[in-house]
Amino acid sequence: MPTTSTAETVTLGGRPASHCLRSTRDATLTVVERILASTDCRELTDETGRGEVAQIAALCVELAADVLDSGTQPSSIDLSRLRESAGRWARAGMPIAPILHAFHAGFSAGLRLVADTAGPGEHAALVDGAVLMFGLLDVVSEAVTSSYLDEYKAAASLMGDVGHSLTTALLAGDPRAHRIAERSGIELAASYEVVALHFSVHPDESGSPAERDIAAGMKQRRIHAAIADAVSPSHPLAVLSPSGGTVLVPDTAPNTVEAIVDGMSAAGGVPIHAASVTAVPSRIPEEAENAYELLRLVHRLEYRPGVHRIADLALEFQIARPGVGRRHLQKILDPLRLVPDLLPTLRAFVETEANRKKAAKQLVVHPNTVDYRLKRIEQITGIDPMKSSGLRSLHAALVADSLDAR
């Protein structure tokens, strides 16, 4: 609820006290520097955190200027951006203490900027300005704390013990999963995308074991927060570690899993490999095994980060199983190993989806050289890579060869 300290604009040094806050970006920079210098919280001082500190500082500087001009504290609507940020910090698992300390440090820097403009005999006006600034700090602290705690409680219910218990029960095929869901007020979906995940190591996961653990924990919290932000049409369930985990995404629309994984990757600052399969609740344990088998295959073949599905990798999935067919495919390429450049050319041709110009660019040769080598491959193996049937066979042989090499 807005409160009014004075109906008049606070004036210092012959100008509105807000002038030093509105007239230049230096005010925001001073506040940001003071906040960063006063904290060792890595969530605030790393690249992502510094950007958010700058945005929030700019907003608070603007709010302070408005309060000094109007004498009125901001409304709930004015504070909505701060509330949203507080909720996000809670979902990311950031401690509340360094957050509040950062606000106090920032307001202290802002008040000093205002006080430095006061001239002789302006004690009363300076006190009025300080009262308004402390009032704003109180309003902001209350908004941030209440939103943080509300979101923390909601996230703890969904992603904490209850969410963890429900997720592990579904993954284990535990018949108590339905009762856990009912007690916690979570409605089980008709089907889920079962997503197996692997997180790459963040550049900050280096140094001493303690430093690696801190960076890994920060990465995990940010990824968990990105999952908590996703709604499709309800929140996904997740069990995560610093290196990966499993997410159950309910009743997904097309590209929902891709959007969630992209958000997780951006939040964690690392590439993420994911394998996704669809399952009704009773089939989640079996399909989770298939998802992880598919994820292992993606790693063995060194495929790109992102979401992979069995429909995309059916050929590789089948070839990965040992047998007579796989051994036959492996033998197709044996004669090519005796001739330099033929296997690299075939791989480039397959990777560029049979585009000879792109393959030539990748190999740094003339397209005619690619044509010559492809003709040699046909002469040696009896399989024409320029025909779709031949290219499929050679592609399968390359997959088998890659799996055998690992």
Residues of the chain with pLDDT > 90, as a percent, come to: 47
Q: What span, in angstroms and rounded, lies between the C-alpha atoms of 383 and 390?
A: 5
Quick one: tokens of 359?
């393959």
The class level of CATH for 11-153 reads mainly alpha
pLDDT band for position 39 (50/70/90)? confident
- For residues 240 and 220, the answer to whether their CB atoms sit within 8 Å is yes
Give mean pLDDT, residues 238-249: 91
For residue 160, the model assigns a pLDDT of: 54
Question: pLDDT tens for residues 338-364?
Answer: 999 999 999 999 989 899 999 999 999
Quick one: tokens of 345?
């050319």
Which CATH number is 323-403's, of 3.10.20.600, 3.10.180.10, 1.10.10.2840, 4.10.110.10? 1.10.10.2840
CB atoms within 10 A of CB 283: 16
225 versus 260: which is more confidently predicted? 260
162 versus 288: which is more confidently predicted? 288
DSSP characters over 41-106 = -HHHHSHHHHHHHHHHHHHHHHHHHHHHHHSBPPPTTTTHHHHHHHHHHHHTT--HHHHHHHHHHH
CATH number of 189-319: 3.30.70.270
For residue 4, the model assigns a pLDDT of: 43
Q: Are strands 272-279 and 306-309 parallel, antiparallel or unpaired?
A: parallel
Helix, strand or coil, per DSSP, at residue 362: helix
Q: In terms of pTM, does the model score above 0.75? A: no
Question: pLDDT tens for residues 84-130?
Answer: 888 888 777 678 888 999 999 999 999 999 999 988 889 999 999 99
Residues of the chain with pLDDT > 70, as a percent, come to: 92
Residue 309 one-letter amino acid: R
What residue ranges do the domains of the chain occupy? 11-153, 189-319, 323-403
Q: What is the CA radius of gyration of the chain?
A: 30
Q: Residue 176: what are its φ and ψ, rounded to 5°?
A: -80, -5
- Among 231-240, 253-262, 364-373, which is the least confidently predicted range? 231-240
Quick one: tokens of 72?
């009125």
For residue 316, the model assigns a pLDDT of: 78
